[in-house]
Structure 1
């Protein structure tokens, strides 16, 4: 299944076709991933992929909200690409917050970067996503 996922994410697509069809196909493939083979391979390969590939996978990693998806998103947060970072944060908002809260709070660089982005970005939707994530992380 990983090979099918890789081919789909590597395909040159328009933005419209990706959001109309591509991400649905990726989400369906992820449902059939095996824990041992596919998730392990994705975990090993994700940081070696092109930034567009990483953006696409980050957008889709909330199917099961499993540990593999969560840790892949955490790995992808170590990027210099603002769009990928925002996609990861947006996707993480759909996770059960209590499970991930402790892990995220153990990495203060994540909240520091979010706060820095909040002061520098003019993108209102991105600010909304970042503020919502920070709010969830700091809620009781």
Structure 2
């Protein structure tokens, strides 16, 4: 299954808008069929993939809000790319269990970076970042 997802994201050449409207749903369906070996393989290759591939993946990693998805998202937050970071934060808003929240809170660098981005963020990004902080502290 993991190879199928990897190929799908790699070969998906439609516009970005089409990815976020249609491609993401198709990728999420593939993710919903993942077993533990698939998640482990995906975790091992995610940082070797191009930035655009990582962005596409991060956008759809809330299929079941499981620990595998959470760990991949947390690892992708270690990026210099602001857009990938914001996509990960946006997706992390779906992770509402206490365990998920605690894993995020255990990484103070995440909150520091979110707080650093807030003053310079555009309207949409600012609302998303604020919502992330609100849900994290709820």
Give the whole-Å Cα distance in 2 for the aligned partners of 1:89 and 1:20: 19
Q: Matched residue pairs, number?
A: 137
Q: Is 2:51 the counterpart of 1:51?
A: yes
Write out the 4+ residue segments of structure 1 that deviate beyond 3 Å after TM superposition: none
Name whichever of 97-106 and 72-81 sits farther off. Answer: 97-106
Give the whole-Å Cα distance in 2 for the aligned partners of 1:119 and 1:53: 28
RMSD in angstroms over aligned alpha carbons?
1.1
Give the whole-Å Cα distance in 2 for the aligned partners of 1:83 and 1:129: 13
**TM-score, reference length from structure 2:** 0.94
Match of 2:2 in 1: 2
Instruction: Judge conservation of contact 1:55–1:84 (CA < 8 Å) in 2.
Output: yes
Give the whole-Å Cα distance in 2 for the aligned partners of 1:129 and 1:115: 12
- 1:102-132 CA distances to partner (integer Å, 9 max, x unpaired)? 11111111000000000122x1111011011
Give the whole-Å Cα distance in 2 for the aligned partners of 1:108 and 1:98: 16
Give the whole-Å Cα distance in 2 for the aligned partners of 1:108 and 1:26: 30
Match of 2:103 in 1: 103
Give the whole-Å Cα distance in 1 for the aligned partners of 2:6 and 2:91: 20
Once the two structures are TM-superposed, the CA of residue 96 in structure 1 deviates from its matched residue by 1.8
Instruction: Judge conservation of contact 2:96–2:136 (CA < 8 Å) in 1.
Output: no
**Which 5+ residue runs of structure 1 have no aligned equivalent?**
none
Match of 1:23 in 2: 24
Match of 1:120 in 2: 120
